[in-house]
A and B are shown apart, each in its own frame.
Chain A
Amino acid sequence: METAIKTFNLTKKFKDLTAVDSINLDIPKGETLALLGPNGAGKTTFISMLSTLVKPTSGTASVAGVDINENSLGVRKKIGIVFQEPSTDDILTARENLELHAMLYGLPRAAALKKIDEILEVVGLSKRADDFVKTYSGGMRRRLEIARGLIHDPEVLFLDEPTLGLDPASRKVIWDYIKGIKARNNTTMILTTHYMEEADLLSDRIAIIDYGKIVALDTAKNLKNVLGQDLVFLKGAINPEIGKLDFVLDVEKESGGVKIMIKDLNRNLKELINKAGDFSEIEIRRVSLEDVFLKFTGHKLEEEKGGGNIFETIAQYKTKRK
């Protein structure tokens, strides 16, 4: 299979801190890879190096067949990027932002105008295209930024925390667009996120990154299978013999009931229920990426601490710019 991105011991150090620690990664063409990790794990630095915004301390990478150290201009022609922080110019209209982008990427004018109309339609901003970006909501701005990243038909698209700080409704809309891109253009995408759900939903493979290292890399399904266990909570008069069933890994007493860890929930749940005896309550929890993350890193994914919210950031910019 054709490779879109290949990194060779890619490393970035800031003084004492090793933000990205010798990462070797192969991403085939058309794949969507999610980089999942807590804040400060090195996700942004990693894609900043791939998009030639930050020079690696050592190691290199090839993006769409071009070496990032030797030909940064060549790399930049082939990639699109949606930054973590808002990066559209709020004193311009959406259309002006897109026109500027098209000109910077050397698109012929007539083709660019057509493409801009199309893409505005796709992200549902046609009606607001000639309004200033400063009047946009966080979600609209994000959609505009995704549209901008796609105008020049990049081979590789980087999405840095595409839904950070968005409300659940806007987040769903953005997810739909991202899935749409994949379906239509077969663009290779790397997206960073610290939302499990997002990684699970959008990506073909997930790379769990922690302290600058990739600690696990596989499909969401396989990663979950590594743990190989689902949890069933039962309350009531439970047959103590269930511990002897061959698919039951562990039985623990817990708050008036038992917590049973079993293999392959789909196949074995029925038998478990038959043998469990007389229970009054049942609760099933499938293994989640959260559990996977915990297993590989030894710590939980922390939620964003306040202050990093995209709306607050935009509000700050607005007041400061005046």
Chain B
Amino acid sequence: MINFQAIYAILLREIKVFVREKERIISILISPLLFLFVIGRGISSSLPAHGYTYQQFIFPGILAMVILFTSITYGLYIIWDKRLDFLKEVLVAPISRATLFLGKASGGIFGALIETLMLLAIGAVFILPITPLEALLCFLTAVPVSFMIVSIGLSIGGLMKSMEGFGLVMSFLTWPMFFFSGALFEIKDTDLYLKVISLVNPFTYCVDLMRKILLDYSSFSLAADLGVISAWIVITSFVGIKIFGNLQQNK
């Protein structure tokens, strides 16, 4: 059912596209850097948070944000493939839709890892000391986190017909996922409605995992974080493969 050579082929293509479209790599980093160096630095002076400066406290959340944005955007990019009719070439190839899905997902994970690396470097230089082990753990964590979010992106992208919905997804899904995740504050200290929404949000646990690695501070247990993320990976990839199974030429 799963054809690894084909996954590798698709991944290779995605890597080439990613590396050749450098504007994308940079543009995805803009919002996270604004948060880190404007809001983070701006609030740092007045508000220490749990033994860290505010900028240090939100860094793991911003790292997770980079993964979130890269992965969702990447997933939605499948609409481009549809537009360019390149997708048809892949759909008509003798590979299962699960293979196609995993190939696309691995491409997204690759992108997220590159962005993670860049942000870790920025963080280590300007914000807080990061040991090689911490960096490695962040890197490893980025894989399942990105897989989960890429699956969401690919599922939505698989259903969407045009790029016009892109802004809608960003406004109604990506930004709320980010804001209701405790990336910018400690969930335990907040109002009930914030807590409730955040607890439902799978991204909350990704942020928590990163914070655990980098700051040794967390709101949930390691088991809870990993459990929730694993469960969501199963759900989102299942849904994604299902949606890919129904991809047809829309004509």
Q: A residues touching B (Cβ–Cβ < 8 Å)?
A: 44-45, 48, 51-55, 73-74, 76-77, 79, 81, 83, 85-92, 96, 100-101, 103-106, 148, 317, 320-321
Contacts and interface: CB of A to CB of B under 8 A. Distances in A.
Given A76-B94, A89-B17, 6 more contacts: A51-B92, A52-B92, A83-B89, A87-B84, A87-B86, A106-B3
B16 A92 contact: yes
Pairs A-B, 3 closest by C-beta atoms: A103-B9, A104-B93, A87-B85
Given A91-B20, A100-B13, A106-B94, A53 B88 contact: yes
A101 B89 contact: yes
Interface in B54-102: 80, 83-86, 88-96
A153 to B, nearest CB: 13
Contacts, number: 82
A53 B249 contact: yes
Interface string B207-251: 000000000000000000000000000000000000000001101
B139 interface: no
B83 A91 contact: no
Contacts of A73: 94-96
Interface in B1-24: 3, 5-6, 8-10, 12-13, 16-17, 20-21
B85 A53 contact: no
A91 B21 contact: yes
Interface of B: 3, 5-6, 8-10, 12-13, 16-17, 20-21, 80, 83-86, 88-96, 248-249, 251
A103 B99 CA distance: 13
A86 B84 contact: yes
Nearest to A81: B92
B72 to A, nearest CB: 19
A206 to B, nearest CB: 23
A100 B11 CA distance: 10
16 contacts: A48-B249, A51-B92, A53-B88, A53-B92, A73-B96, A86-B85, A90-B84, A91-B16, A92-B17, A100-B9, A100-B10, A101-B93, A104-B90, A106-B3, A106-B94, A317-B83
A51 B13 CA distance: 24
What is the interface of chain B mostly: helix, strand, loop, or mixed?
helix
A6 to B, nearest CB: 20
Nearest to B249: A53
A258 B5 CA distance: 70
Contacts of A44: 251
A316 to B, nearest CB: 9
A282 to B, nearest CB: 48
Contact of A103 (B5, B17, B85): B5
A76 B92 contact: yes
Contact of B251 (A48, A90, A92, A320): A48
Contact of B13 (A48, A55, A89): A89
A96 B16 contact: yes
A143 to B, nearest CB: 16
Contacts of B86: 87-89
Contacts of B96: 73
Contacts of A79: 92
A78 to B, nearest CB: 8
A177 to B, nearest CB: 19
A105 B93 CA distance: 7
B207 to A, nearest CB: 33
A105 B8 CA distance: 12
A105 B83 CA distance: 23
A317 B10 CA distance: 21
Given A77-B94, A317-B84, A45 B6 contact: no
Nearest to A92: B16
Contacts of B84: 86-87, 89-90, 317, 321
A94 to B, nearest CB: 13
